[in-house]
């Protein structure tokens, strides 16, 4: 479908086809082109799976779209997804987009209070809710269950895929920033088209390929790399919802002849530490893909020597997905996530030039470290932060979207990543706001002060760590740690909780009294 029909965008700013619809591009078009090919395979266990062809996915998505519209929702209304790792998640996600609504995917790991905060912030008028996930739904907000989805599919109503202005919102993802409150990243329908440079620049993905993603369906990494891009290429997407098993991936690759495996570095590290590459049949695998956090050079070398399968790294973020990578045409350089994908323009900006919002940012020379930026003409770039115009203005500077990352470029365009310019934690592929964690732990009995930062524990792994200063009358430090862990369990998603709690005498501060998180480490 996609191979020669639409050439890969040669330069930023090329017009997206008009009218355009994300669901039509990713679901409707491949259903017309390859109706009988497997679109989605959900593996439940050895020899157990559920399958949907492209024609069946198209039918389900349009049924969900019709069902959502029958609730009285209007174009642009938000639909929040609080669902576990089940096939209905992508069906509701694309169904909402097909109806001209705005999907708001959320992690099943969020606590009920965290999810309620996103529901309130997004102003969603409907919630797709699993019965085993708690959420207080306000009066006037419609609740959609798995049974409702089944009933819509069994019924006869089908909506057509919504087409229109490519810049209209399609979905909102929430990400952690330097403030305590997660912020919504608003993506347009054109964002699916804007992912096209990834097809060749990172994956080497084409029609008929088979993509296995090691993440849960409700993760935006899976929705993008594991579903949106394979479907847009009329390729098969495979996900796993069976018992927790860190060694299952080579078995699924072999059983389903996967051509691509996508995961975070920790998945590959676990396979090499606890598996036996000599027993794996990876002959169908053309490439393994890694994103979410930096790939240690030692892990890259170990994987290559053990399997012989190319491991293509990428760098991206919630605001634009991946935009720097290695791939079939970009040789790997240890220590670098690669170069800007074909058709994308990136720059390294002088941090001092960013201090004055009235002055245009200044690009730095080759080999100089500065703030990584992406050109604003890129159709994959977000529209902005949901109802946060000031924060949007902070990152949209002149012709650039300015990231919070420090980096440099060499003469060949390869990027070297130098970490965050702010305090946002990247732990196990998740972005975590230290302020959000600190606010959740504030008020724990016996805690005088608390600060949170990333802690490098070796082997390329970083975890969330809390440094706690006890109140003056506390003598039992072990009991204090237990109280902190208990509070984190009550108020925070699992990936935000401190994996380690250290009790110290005082926090490092500047002369003005500000906590210096980098000195905690």
Span 284-326, pLDDT tens digits = 999 999 998 788 888 899 999 999 999 999 999 999 999 999 9
Confidence band for 89, pLDDT divided at 50, 70 and 90 = very high
Q: What is the mean pLDDT of residues 83-109?
A: 95
Q: Residue 7's pLDDT is what?
A: 34
Confidence band for 64, pLDDT divided at 50, 70 and 90 = very high
Q: Residue 129's pLDDT is what?
A: 96
- What the block records as the tokens of 45 is 């266990």
Quote the Cα angle for 327-432-461, to 5°: 60
CB 229 within 8 A of CB 223: no
Q: What is the pLDDT of residues 413-433, one digit of tens each?
A: 999 988 777 777 877 777 788
Share of the chain above pLDDT 70, in %: 96
Q: Residue 1's pLDDT is what?
A: 31
User: Cα separation of 235 and 415, whole Å?
Assistant: 30
Q: What is the pLDDT of residues 253-264, one digit of tens each?
A: 999 999 999 998
Find, among 157, 201, 168, 124, the residue nearest to 22 by Cα: 168
Q: What is the pLDDT of residues 372-385, one digit of tens each?
A: 999 999 999 999 99
Q: Residue 10's pLDDT is what?
A: 40
Q: Residue 125's pLDDT is what?
A: 98
Burial class (CB in 10 A: 0-12, 13-18, 19+), 353: middle
User: Cα separation of 39 and 341, whole Å?
Assistant: 26
Beta strand extents in 273-393 (DSSP E only) = 287-290, 311-317, 321-325, 339-340, 346-349, 370-375, 384-385
Find, among 171, 176, 203, 209, the residue nearest to 190 by Cα: 171
Rounded alpha-carbon distances, angstroms, from residue 189 to 79, 238, 342 = 16, 24, 21
Q: Residue 9's pLDDT is what?
A: 37
Q: What is the pLDDT of residues 172-224, one digit of tens each?
A: 999 876 666 889 999 999 999 999 999 999 999 999 999 999 998 888 899 99
3-class secondary structure for 425-459? Answer: EEECCEEECHHHHHHHHCCCCCEEEEEEEEEEEEC
Q: What is the DSSP letter of 277?
A: G
For the chain, what is the mean pLDDT?
A: 91
- What the block records as the tokens of 370 is 């500065």
Q: What is the mean pLDDT of residues 87-108?
A: 96
Q: What is the pLDDT of residues 329-339, one digit of tens each?
A: 999 998 899 99
| pLDDT for residue 4 is more than 70 | no
Q: What is the pTM of this model?
A: 0.86
Count of CB atoms situated within 10 Å of the CB of 282: 17
Find, among 312, 305, 68, the residue nearest to 198 by Cα: 312
Confidence band for 437, pLDDT divided at 50, 70 and 90 = confident
- What the block records as the tokens of 131 is 């019965």
The alpha-helical segments, DSSP class H, found in 4-109 are: 22-23, 29-33, 54-70, 88-98
Query: Which residues have a Cβ under 8 Å from the Cβ of 238 and sit 6 or more positions away?
Result: 40, 41, 42, 43, 210, 211, 212, 213, 252, 256, 258
Q: Residue 325's pLDDT is what?
A: 97
Range with the poorest average pLDDT among 241-245, 310-314, 437-441:
437-441
Separate counts of helices (H) and strands (E) for the chain: 17, 26
Q: What is the pLDDT of residues 460-478, one digit of tens each?
A: 788 899 999 888 777 888 9
CB 223 within 8 A of CB 93: yes
Domains of the chain by range and CATH? Answer: 57-188 (3.40.50.980), 195-342 (3.40.50.12780), 345-422 (2.30.38.10), 425-520 (3.30.300.30)
Q: What is the mean pLDDT of residues 62-71?
A: 98
Q: Residue 465's pLDDT is what?
A: 92
Q: Residue 510's pLDDT is what?
A: 65
């Amino acid at each position: 479908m996609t191979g020669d029909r639409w050439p890969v965008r040669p330069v930023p700013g090329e017009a997206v086809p008009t009218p355009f619809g994300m669901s039509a591009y990713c679901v409707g078009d491949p259903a017309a082109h390859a109706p009988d090919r497997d679109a989605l395979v959900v593996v439940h266990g050895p020899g157990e799976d559920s399958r949907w062809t492209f024609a069946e996915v198209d039918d389900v998505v349009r049924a969900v779209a019709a069902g959502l519209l029958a609730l009285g929702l209007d174009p642009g209304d938000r639909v929040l997804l609080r669902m576990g790792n089940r096939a209905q998640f992508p069906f509701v996600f694309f169904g909402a987009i097909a109806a001209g609504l705005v999907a708001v995917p959320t992690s099943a790991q969020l606590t009920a209070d965290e999810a309620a905060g996103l529901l309130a912030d997004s102003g969603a008028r409907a919630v797709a809710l699993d019965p085993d996930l708690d959420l207080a739904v306000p009066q006037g907000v419609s609740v959609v269950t798995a049974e409702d989805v089944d009933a819509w599919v069994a019924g006869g109503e089908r909506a057509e895929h919504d087409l229109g202005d490519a810049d209209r919102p399609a979905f909102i993802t929430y990400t952690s920033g330097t403030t305590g409150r997660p912020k919504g990243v608003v993506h347009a329908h054109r964002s699916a088209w804007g992912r096209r440079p990834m097809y060749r620049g990172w994956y080497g993905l084409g029609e008929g390929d088979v993509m296995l993603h090691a993440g849960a369906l409700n993760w935006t990494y899976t929705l993008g790399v594991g579903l949106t891009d394979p479907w847009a290429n009329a390729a098969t997407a495979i996900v796993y919802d069976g018992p927790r098993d860190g060694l299952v991936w080579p078995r699924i690759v072999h059983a389903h002849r996967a051509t691509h495996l996508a995961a975070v570095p920790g998945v590959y590290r676990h396979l090499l530490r606890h598996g036996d590459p000599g027993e794996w049949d990876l002959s169908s695998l053309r490439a393994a893909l890694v994103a979410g956090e930096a790939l240690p050079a030692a892990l890259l070398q170990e994987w290559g020597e053990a399997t012989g399968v190319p491991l293509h790294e990428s760098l991206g973020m919630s605001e634009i997905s991946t935009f720097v990578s290695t791939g079939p045409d970009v040789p790997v350089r240890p220590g670098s996530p690669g170069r800007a994908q074909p058709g994308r323009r990136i720059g390294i900006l002088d941090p001092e030039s960013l201090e004055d919002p009235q002055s245009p940012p200044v690009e730095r020379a080759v080999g100089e470290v500065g703030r990584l930026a992406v050109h604003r003409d890129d159709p994959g770039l977000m529209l902005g932060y949901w109802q946060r115009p000031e924060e949007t203005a902070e990152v949209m500077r002149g012709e650039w979207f300015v990231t919070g990352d420090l980096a440099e470029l060499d003469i060949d365009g390869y990027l070297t990543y130098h970490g965050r310019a702010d305090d946002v934690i990247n732990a196990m592929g998740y972005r975590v706001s230290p302020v959000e964690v600190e606010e959740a732990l504030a008020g724990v009995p016996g805690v005088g002060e608390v600060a949170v930062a990333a802690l490098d524990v070796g082997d390329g792994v970083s975890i969330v760590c809390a440094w706690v200063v006890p109140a003056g009358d506390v003598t039992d430090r072990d009991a204090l740690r237990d109280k902190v862990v208990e509070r984190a369990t009550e108020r925070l998603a699992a990936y935000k909780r401190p994996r380690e709690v250290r009790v110290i005498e005082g926090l490092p501060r500047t002369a003005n009294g500000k906590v210096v998180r980098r000195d905690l480490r």
